[in-house]
Structure 1
C-alpha cells in the first residue's frame, strides 16, 4: 500500500511503507516555522517515561488487533531512512509535545489527508457504480443481440416477412 506524503509548514513529511510518519521531518517542519528548538528532537521525546508508556500501550493494542500488525514506532540508525518513525497517533502526540499550536496544525494536515482520501473514495465508488450499471446494460444488449443475430429472432422475422410478402403478392399482385 502506498501512503500519502504530507506537508507541514512547507516541509514534506515522509511516510514509510507501513504508514509511519518521520518524526524527524515533523521536527524539521516545526523548527522551520520557529515552533520547536533543537532540544525538542524526537530522540528526547522518545526518552520520556510518559511516552515510553504510551508507545507500550500502542504496541499492546497493535498486538491485539489482527488488522494492524505494524509496530507503532520504528527507530532506524543510519542509512537513507534513519530517524524515528511513528504512526499518526504518535506523530500527533509528538507535535503536541512540541507545542499545542503545532499539534493543531499537524492534526489538521492529517484530517485534510483523510478528507481527501474519503473524497477520492467517493469518486471511485461513483465511477465503479457507473461501470457496473453500464456493464449490466451492455451485457443485456449483447444478450439481445445474440438472440437477434444469425439463426436467432432476426432469421425467424425475415422468414415470416417473406411468407407475408408472398401472401401480399397473392392478394395484391404487383405490389412489392
Structure 2
C-alpha cells in the first residue's frame, strides 16, 4: 500500500511502507517554522509516560498488528538513519505536544492529503469508466467492420448484386455500366 506524502511548512515528511511518518521530519518543519525548539525532539516526546500509554493503547486496539515491524511507533537508534516513526495519530499527537497551532497545521495537512488522494481516485474511476465505455463502442464498431469486410456481409451483398446482374439482359448490363462510368 502506498501512503500519501505530506508537506508541512515546506518540509516533505517521509512515510515508510507501514504508514508511519517520520517525526524527525515533523520536528524539522516545526523548527523551520519557528514553532519548536531543539529540546522538543521526538526522542524526548516518546519518553513521556502518557505517550507510551497512548502507543500501547493504539497497538492493543488493532491499529497495527503485533509484529515488531508493524507497530504504530518505530524507533531507529544510532547511525545516520536515527529517527522516530509513528502512525498518523502519533504524528498529530507529537505536533500537539510541540504547539497547538502546529498541531492544527499538521492535522489539516493530513486531511488535505487524504482529500487529494480521494479526489484523484474519483478522477481515476471516472476515467476508467470513460475508457471502458469507449472500448466497448470501438469493440462493437470493430465487430461490425469485421462482419462487413472480406468474406463478410460486403462479400454477401456483392455476390447478391452479381447474381442480379447475371439475371439481366446483357444489353441492360452494358447500358447500366455506361451510366456508372
What TM-score does the superposition give when structure 2 sets the normalisation length? Answer: 0.85
Q: Which residue of 2 aligns with 1:17?
A: 17
Matched-pair contact (CA < 8 Å) for 2:64–2:71: no
How far did residue 144 of structure 1 move? 1.5
Structure 1 window deviating more from structure 2 (161-170 vs 36-45): it is 161-170
How far did residue 70 of structure 1 move? 2.8
How far did residue 135 of structure 1 move? 1.2
Distance 2:134 2:80 in 1: 48
Distance 1:137 1:44 in 2: 62
What TM-score does the superposition give when structure 1 sets the normalisation length? Answer: 0.87
Residue ranges of structure 1 left out of the alignment (5+ in a row): none
How far did residue 171 of structure 1 move? 8.6
Q: Which residue of 2 aligns with 1:92?
A: 92
Matched-pair contact (CA < 8 Å) for 1:59–1:72: yes
Distance 2:108 2:169 in 1: 83
1:39 to 1:168, Cα distance in 2 relative to 1, 3 A: same
Q: Which residue of 1 aligns with 2:130?
A: 130
Q: Deviations over 1:86-128 (max 9, x none)?
A: 1111101111111111000001111111111111111211211
Structure 1 window deviating more from structure 2 (48-57 vs 35-44): it is 35-44
Matched-pair contact (CA < 8 Å) for 2:76–2:84: yes
The correspondence of residues 1-176 of structure 1 with structure 2, limited to 5 A, is 1-62=1-62, 70-169=70-169, 172=172, 174-176=175-177
Residue ranges of structure 2 left out of the alignment (5+ in a row): none
Q: Deviations over 1:39-75 (max 9, x none)?
A: 221112111111111111111223787xxx8321110
Bigger radius of gyration, 1 or 2? 2
Give RMSD over aligned pairs: 2.2
